[in-house]
Structure 1
């Protein structure tokens, strides 16, 4: 649920001072500060009124916060003077003129340092050029000049960071024409019908950052030590380029706080938006977002895909509208094609090195869900269940299951399997937006499989599969930082711990290894005669597990696959409400049939909305 303000802080930051030398840092991200800003709903959501900004400074000063400069953060990271208790770094993006006319006088009055990130192509913008800044076109008069930057730098309060030279824009990211942040996107060229290569992409980023750093050093006499990535869009490769250019401190907008250590890449900032008052600020500094519940719809991309582009577009619109109306916090989006429904991937929905691409669709749908439906999207992929087009290789790498109905899986103890699957995960991350990974339920090993290769001990087999998924997360993390991980878990290892031998799955191990475990809370799939009693027992067993309720997602089934009939909405509501009453924090369901509106949007909103009040958006 959106709040008036989102601040990255420790949950207790405003309740009690941190211990001296804790090196905890809060970073606030501001943009425009001007006199006339609507109380709520201003056309520029990131603008803050001068009055509210001054009140923020006054409140921070009166509640024991200690503003620090970037140099203080760097010194602390190198073992120098620790940061003071409740340290806060103020940052200002885009190099807007209001930082000179409205912010700088207040910073001088409070003697507060700050970091100002400039887009160097916008500084001293030529009079005949304009920038589409959202609410309106911005001109030369909306941005700082080099003379103003020199004056602010000379005060000792303002340090200048790079915000790129010209990466504060979108580039075409797929054949359908979507636009994504230039700093992380392999641009699609409509003329040549191909994506930018890795070498071309990295050369483009290196030139842009080099131009920005050179301009700042030329005009201000000192090069920037940090880069604030436009749209918080970066990856490990762009950070490495920044390092080469002397900008070893980088920032994003993910996370609530950080403890400063040697690595200053991807420092968490919280975006100040919707013109927050001091009351909004105080609320956010006391609000623990870790207590918020996750609500996820698991969506089959196979139901969006259609060979007819017009029908596919209609399917996508139907999905977006449903997600907007239901209001979950997350969508777990299928990134693989499984038209025969056997649980393994026949093809993928993104360009890759090893499997056929059914359609270049994941990028478009994920980005549309983020930008139009305002949810976080996690890519849902198999771990072992990939059917390779090379039949001989497929056979050689396959697990020879004793049960012919078992999901097809590749052998994770074969080095070639590990390379192929890691490539697939890296290619997914290259192809488009995702904030997390949902590892499919195919990641299992029976006790009679791979004898002589897999460990005999069930716990050791569980650890081996966990380590493999960590390899996959690292492969994707090369291009998508701070990925959240979720792993599907069958209910049997929870209800009957000895069945770890049959699955190589364990709830306690999963909740230690991943951000969340999505336990398949599906009594009809398990042929339970008393679904509610079965669910009560599952909840009780999860409660007894370490980190059980805080890290477990109860994933409900919406269809009884024995006869393909929908589970009645009344049953789903009763189960969801009973789970919540018993302490369950996170809910999801599968499948979400957006094509046939099943479960109905009205019922889905009541069960799966993450809003404080599940109203209909108009």
Structure 2
């Protein structure tokens, strides 16, 4: 692809004082040079001057109106409105070409822009260099304070902070992964993880330094922070806000289910601490590719997911863990799904409840600090979106006395051990566990486990005994967990496992406290357990056809439901033949199902076989993802 869509951006414009509505497209550029190769330039973030000028021509010809960052701030505050098809141009990192190549074009067009330098790079001492993309950059490659002041004084350019020294990776776990500095608790072998207080002080000191330098040299303190690597959280945004930077930008997030016109547009929500997302202009798109990406309907992209047991990656031998991680990442890279649902808890006895977790926690036993390592490797090496697969109620807490007080007294012998969702202490402790996960790990979404159910004879007074109210109660419980995680990991997508029986037999909602329609409203994806052998279906294909027809007939069903197939017949137990997976995915696609996945994946034994896995869930099967 010529443009890398990390974000598509549209929410309803909410203004206190006016009902006017507008949309905002925010574009993120870096280096603009004359000598950028048409294809395969060593710097994928560089755009040629000619292509950049054509982007501006296309935007103007198609009715876009350039706005300043101040106009966006005013719109968020309710003291102004944005025009229809507003566009804000942003330039990250403070490269010299912004002055030599971009600024003349801005003056020619009369278009405003936002420039976000890394202030330590502006102040880079003579003789020092920083690694930037394919080579080392010296002070001559970055803007000077005089150039920044001149652009600011023109009235066209507003200067934002891109941090002072957060545009780098730091040790984010015991394995040495280099992870964005702004949102990572630094790991050291001597001290372990950085404390919350130390992290807070580090971020505040950095942003204050950047703010003060810009104010001193440019003449005005920044109102905007542009987060390096799009890495931020609500707490960091709160620090920036307290320092006067009331608007922030990242590169990620999507408005799922919004009424998108041109992809990449967004409304401006005035109250949230979430950053406004931007479209990263990537790999030097010419005007045809630029326009094509803006017009592409992202809602048509299908999800292809693999659910992965981290219990199968873990081993008592650290060397074997390394080999297992490498094997998993290589297999996912070879299959190329779009998503991995990665287990973040340990369930060695297979009863469905977490006996331990794979991230630092005060509330649960920790089997190993492994989730962040594997998630980071999958995201950066296999280029997939990682959802943390987590229980909702099934936790065997470290506090055994509290566990005894909160655990549901199940009437069935085979039920998953679960905590009582009606006791406020359950939400408190599980929310804390989700916050611990989000604080320590980098991931894109949450998969709520299949333990979020209630039998009709369990906690009979929950929801007043009304099936729909019990269903709603568990949904609200999961949304509270999402909120707890999003304080530290914003804009998480959500998926939740749903048993097939409530879809095929709506009356069984009373036995599960689950129903398809409210799931579709609550989550980005409903991960439907489309597993005919698990349900003892006599005719698996007929069963799948019936299930697919029911989902497609449900409003929003095809758009919001991911069919998760099984690759093992647990009754035997034995792996299902790879051709079975192929046949089932073909059947579901023909029936109108858009999103597909499977569980489990044996990355050691290579089952399902690679050709079968690729045909079933490779995102590269979508031709519109290839250019």
**Residues 115 and 160 in structure 1, CA contact (< 8 A), matched pair in contact too:** yes
Deviation (angstroms), 1:10 = 7.2
* Aligned twin of 2:56: 57
* Aligned twin of 1:476: 485
* Aligned twin of 2:42: 43
**Residues 8 and 257 in structure 1, CA contact (< 8 A), matched pair in contact too:** no
**Residues 2 and 290 in structure 2, CA contact (< 8 A), matched pair in contact too:** no
Deviation (angstroms), 1:395 = 2.0
Q: Which moved more, 1:53-62 or 1:203-212?
A: 53-62
Instruction: Give per-residue Cα distances to partners, 1:535-568, cap 9 Å, x unaligned.
Output: 0010111112221010000000010000121111
* Aligned twin of 1:15: none
Please say if 1:101 is aligned against 2:100.
yes
For the residues of structure 2 that align with 1:340 and 1:6, how far apart are their CA atoms?
Answer: 41
Matches within 5 A, 1:208-287: 208-254=206-252, 255=254, 256-263=264-271, 265-287=274-296
* Aligned twin of 1:17: none
Matches within 5 A, 1:533-544: 533-544=542-553
SS at match of 1:180: strand
For the residues of structure 2 that align with 1:260 and 1:140, how far apart are their CA atoms?
Answer: 36
**Residues 9 and 278 in structure 2, CA contact (< 8 A), matched pair in contact too:** no
**Residues 7 and 28 in structure 1, CA contact (< 8 A), matched pair in contact too:** no
Matches within 5 A, 1:56-205: 56-192=55-191, 194-205=192-203
**Residues 407 and 442 in structure 1, CA contact (< 8 A), matched pair in contact too:** yes
* Aligned twin of 2:452: 443
Deviation (angstroms), 1:80 = 3.2
**Residues 23 and 76 in structure 1, CA contact (< 8 A), matched pair in contact too:** no
For the residues of structure 2 that align with 1:53 and 1:9, how far apart are their CA atoms?
Answer: 20
For the residues of structure 2 that align with 1:177 and 1:156, how far apart are their CA atoms?
Answer: 44
**Residues 68 and 112 in structure 1, CA contact (< 8 A), matched pair in contact too:** yes
* Aligned twin of 2:497: 488
For the residues of structure 1 that align with 2:305 and 2:575, how far apart are their CA atoms?
Answer: 18
For the residues of structure 1 that align with 2:441 and 2:562, how far apart are their CA atoms?
Answer: 25
Matches within 5 A, 1:321-340: 321-340=330-349
Question: TM-score normalized by structure 1?
Answer: 0.96
Q: 1:506 to 1:613 in 2, by over 3 A?
A: closer
SS at match of 2:160: strand
* Aligned twin of 2:413: 404
Matches within 5 A, 1:9-24: 21-24=20-23
SS at match of 1:377: strand
Deviation (angstroms), 1:580 = 0.8
Q: Which moved more, 1:260-269 or 1:228-237?
A: 260-269
**Residues 4 and 274 in structure 1, CA contact (< 8 A), matched pair in contact too:** yes
Deviation (angstroms), 1:438 = 0.3
For the residues of structure 2 that align with 1:590 and 1:455, how far apart are their CA atoms?
Answer: 35
**Residues 172 and 188 in structure 1, CA contact (< 8 A), matched pair in contact too:** yes
For the residues of structure 1 that align with 2:123 and 2:319, how far apart are their CA atoms?
Answer: 45
For the residues of structure 1 that align with 2:339 and 2:66, how far apart are their CA atoms?
Answer: 35
For the residues of structure 2 that align with 1:500 and 1:399, how far apart are their CA atoms?
Answer: 19
Q: Which moved more, 1:555-564 or 1:250-259?
A: 250-259
Instruction: Give per-residue Cα distances to partners, 1:437-464, cap 9 Å, x unaligned.
Output: 0000000000000123453100000011
**Residues 33 and 48 in structure 2, CA contact (< 8 A), matched pair in contact too:** yes
Instruction: Give per-residue Cα distances to partners, 1:29-68, cap 9 Å, x unaligned.
Output: 0001111112222111100011111111111122211111
Deviation (angstroms), 1:434 = 1.1
Q: CA RMSD in A?
A: 1.5
Deviation (angstroms), 1:260 = 1.7
Q: 1:85 to 1:389 in 2, by over 3 A?
A: closer
SS at match of 1:455: helix
Q: Which moved more, 1:540-549 or 1:162-171?
A: 540-549
Question: For 2:509, which of 488, 497, 500 is the aligned residue?
Answer: 500
Deviation (angstroms), 1:84 = 1.4
Question: TM-score normalized by structure 2?
Answer: 0.94
**Residues 320 and 369 in structure 1, CA contact (< 8 A), matched pair in contact too:** yes
Segments of 5+ residues of structure 2 without an aligned counterpart are 11-18, 255-263
SS at match of 2:225: strand
**Residues 408 and 418 in structure 2, CA contact (< 8 A), matched pair in contact too:** yes
For the residues of structure 1 that align with 2:401 and 2:71, how far apart are their CA atoms?
Answer: 59
Matches within 5 A, 1:301-340: 301-340=310-349
For the residues of structure 1 that align with 2:2 and 2:621, how far apart are their CA atoms?
Answer: 10
* Aligned twin of 1:353: 362
Q: 1:3 to 1:196 in 2, by over 3 A?
A: same
**Residues 8 and 26 in structure 1, CA contact (< 8 A), matched pair in contact too:** no
Matches within 5 A, 1:555-574: 555-574=564-583
For the residues of structure 2 that align with 1:5 and 1:513, how far apart are their CA atoms?
Answer: 28
Deviation (angstroms), 1:153 = 0.9
For the residues of structure 2 that align with 1:7 and 1:103, how far apart are their CA atoms?
Answer: 23
SS at match of 1:589: strand
For the residues of structure 1 that align with 2:410 and 2:158, how far apart are their CA atoms?
Answer: 62
Instruction: Give per-residue Cα distances to partners, 1:540-599, cap 9 Å, x unaligned.
Output: 111122210100000000100001211112121111011111110100110011111000
Instruction: Give per-residue Cα distances to partners, 1:87-125, cap 9 Å, x unaligned.
Output: 100000000000001111111111111000011111132
Please say if 1:465 is aligned against 2:474.
yes
For the residues of structure 2 that align with 1:488 and 1:368, how far apart are their CA atoms?
Answer: 25
Deviation (angstroms), 1:612 = 3.9
Deviation (angstroms), 1:257 = 2.8
Question: For 2:393, which of 353, 371, 384 is the aligned residue?
Answer: 384
For the residues of structure 1 that align with 2:582 and 2:98, how far apart are their CA atoms?
Answer: 51
Q: Which moved more, 1:74-83 or 1:497-506?
A: 74-83
Deviation (angstroms), 1:3 = 4.7
Deviation (angstroms), 1:21 = 4.4
Segments of 5+ residues of structure 1 without an aligned counterpart are 12-19
Deviation (angstroms), 1:82 = 1.8
**Residues 47 and 275 in structure 1, CA contact (< 8 A), matched pair in contact too:** yes
SS at match of 2:121: coil
In the alignment of these two chains, the number of paired residues is 605
Deviation (angstroms), 1:5 = 4.6
Please say if 1:552 is aligned against 2:578.
no
SS at match of 2:122: coil
